[in-house]
Amino acid sequence: MMSEYKKDSLSLTGAVSLGTGVMIGAGIFALLGQVAEFAGDLFPFAFLGGAVIAGFSAYSYVKMSDAFPSAGGIAMYLQKAYGKSTFTAFAALLMALSMIINESLVARTFGTYTLQLFDVPESSVWVPILGVGLIGLAFLVNISGNNFIQKSSFVMALLKIGGILVFAVGGLWAAGFSFDKVIPSALPDKTETDLLSALALSILAYKGFTTITNSGGEIKEPRKNVSRAIVISLIICTVIYMLVAFAVSANLSIDEIVKARDYSMAEAARPAFGKYGLWFTVGIAIIATVSGIIASIFAVSRMTAMLTDMKLIPHSDLGLPGDVQQHMLVYVAVVATLLTVFLDLSRIASMGAIFYLIMDIGIHWGVLKNLREEIKPNAIIVGIAIFLDTVILGAFIYMKATQDVFIIIVSAAIMALILGGEKWFLSRNPQSD
């Protein structure tokens, strides 16, 4: 069974495996087609743009992880910046929700790719059924403890990174290593809002680096290895995303990618490798999504347990056995299951992008306004991160308001509920720093 935070239970390799596990699980498999829909022929470069933005964002997290390594990660960073306040709890819960949303995104991606092996309609009820089954498996793995998670994450990370590289190089080889289709001769007929929306979704492919910060108290030599793990994970994922995007664009037209947006890598494997390539790609997708959701549930349960320890959110065991972390695993799995059943991939990704960007802006502003003297950040880098997040968030909300206002209303309602609920809870339970 899981115990409380186990100091030195995660190595640098294990931390990198967790970070890449979340990023690659949700990133290239779940988001490639959706990014292509907004960016057109420029979609491989949207992932490069997302990496640049993630790099600016990672700066604040690296500075804070060096100063405040903690098993609560983002929750502790927000407390350092804003104290035990309503905004700390609000922003931390937005991050937790974005991570849970990521889990449902990965779960549905698992179902979608698995069904490519069978003659089943895309809208089949088996997509959420398989997704819910994966969430249940991830819950059981997390209950087993850190050592099993670290070993399984490392093995799965090696398998999926190796497999994805084989797919990418093989896809480029099948296309004769021709980059004529990869590098467009003219700019696509896309608006600035479309391109910024593509960046908003591509950022989701990298936000898994924050998973590492949530395990800071458990990583060996955290002041050195948390920042190293973040940088290494971002570099690995950027290289993989670019290679895969080039391989897919070399074998499929944009229209074909968009048509198969929920399983575009599997579709790209058909012309390049035939049925055996399809089986191989689906196998890698299954490994990636399984490892991604295991890593994500591990991280969000840690963060929400820390919020409970900090008395920033209410907690009830509802008669369940075990400790707070195990209770949080149950609650996280239940919420992820509900999202998997009731929302499609596009809406799940949109809500996750909105919540994450708002939280991310809060982190950077806290560093710039309240922690400048303590951690001595470069104000220009932090300011650029805030500017980029704000522009992309504004464009994405505008685009969604014109195309799918329902998800904007739902997101706003959830945020209002969290903010009001936390204000009420903390007013009844006064905090002291």
- For the chain, first and last CA: distance in Å? 32
Residue 102 has pLDDT above 90, yes or no: no
Instruction: Determine the pLDDT at residue 367.
Output: 93
> Binning pLDDT at 50, 70 and 90, where does residue 243 land?
confident
Q: Comparing C-alpha atoms, which of 300, 411, 412, 419 is closest to residue 347?
A: 411
Using 50, 70 and 90 to split pLDDT, how confident is the model at 152?
low
Which tokens go with 272?
């390049």
Can you state the percent helix, strand and coil of the chain, rounding each to 5?
A: 80, 0, 20
Q: What is the mean pLDDT of residues 404-422?
A: 93
Computed on alpha carbons and rounded to an integer, the radius of gyration of the chain in Å comes to: 20
Closest CA to 206 of 412, 357, 383: 357
Share of the chain above pLDDT 90, in %: 19
What are 106's two structure tokens? 């990965």
Tell me the H-state helices in 252-320. 254-259, 264-309
Distance of CA 424 to the CA centre of its chain: 30
pLDDT at 346: 77
Quick: pLDDT tens for 245-301: 888 888 888 888 888 877 888 888 877 677 888 888 888 888 888 877 887 787 788
Give the separation between CA 301 and CA 328, rounded to whole angstroms: 5
pLDDT at 412: 95
pLDDT computed for residue 419 by the predictor: 93
The confidence band for 209, taking pLDDT boundaries of 50, 70 and 90, is: confident
Q: What number of CA atoms fall less than 13 Å from residue 305's CA on the CB side?
A: 24
Higher pLDDT, 69 or 289: 289
The residue-averaged pLDDT of 158-175 equals 81
Distance of alpha carbon 80 from alpha carbon 64, whole angstroms: 9
**Banded pLDDT at 185 (limits 50, 70, 90):** low
pLDDT at 2 over 60: no
Is it the case that residue 364 has pLDDT exceeding 50? yes
Instruction: Give me 256's structure tokens.
Output: 């074909």
pLDDT in tens, 75-100: 888 888 998 889 999 998 998 888 88
| pLDDT tens-place string over residues 320-356 | 766 777 888 888 889 899 988 887 777 888 888 899 9
Mean pLDDT of 412-418: 95
Q: Does the pLDDT at position 203 exceed 60?
A: yes
Closest CA to 282 of 162, 107, 112: 112
H/E stretch holding 80 reads: helix 74-82
pLDDT of residue 217: 65
The mean pLDDT value for 396-425 works out to 92
Of 353, 402, 431, nearest to 84 by C-alpha is: 431
Question: In the structure, what pLDDT confidence band is assigned to residue 220 with cuts at 50, 70 and 90?
Answer: confident
> Which is more confident, 386 or 177?
386
What is the pLDDT at residue 91?
92
Least confident stretch, 88-102, 166-180, 227-241: 166-180
H or E segment to which residue 198 belongs: helix 192-204
Q: Is the confidence at residue 3, as pLDDT, over 60?
A: no
Q: How large a percentage of the chain has pLDDT more than 70? A: 86
pLDDT greater than 80 at residue 113: yes
Most confident of 11-15, 115-119, 235-239: 235-239
DSSP tag of 72: T
Instruction: Tell which residue, 190, 28, 181, 203, has the closest CA to residue 98.
Output: 203
Would the pLDDT of 25 be above 70?
A: no
Q: How far is CA 136 from the centre of its chain?
A: 19
Length of the chain as a residue count = 433
Q: Where are the domains of the chain?
A: 12-428
Specify the higher pLDDT residue, 251 or 409: 409
Q: So what's the pLDDT on residue 381? A: 95
Residue scoring higher pLDDT (26 or 238):
238
pLDDT of residue 115: 87
| 3-state secondary structure at position 10 | strand
Task: Quote the pLDDT of residue 1.
Answer: 35
Does the pLDDT at position 7 exceed 70?
no
Q: How far apart are the C-alpha atoms of 113 and 130, rounded to whole Å?
A: 10
For 147-156, 196-205, 254-263, 337-346, which range has the lowest pLDDT when averaged over its residues? 147-156
CATH of region 12-428, choose from 3.20.20.70, 1.20.1740.10, 3.40.50.300, 1.10.260.40: 1.20.1740.10
Q: Which residues face 219 on adjacent strands?
A: 10
Average pLDDT of the residues in 312-318: 76
Mean per-residue pLDDT of the chain = 82
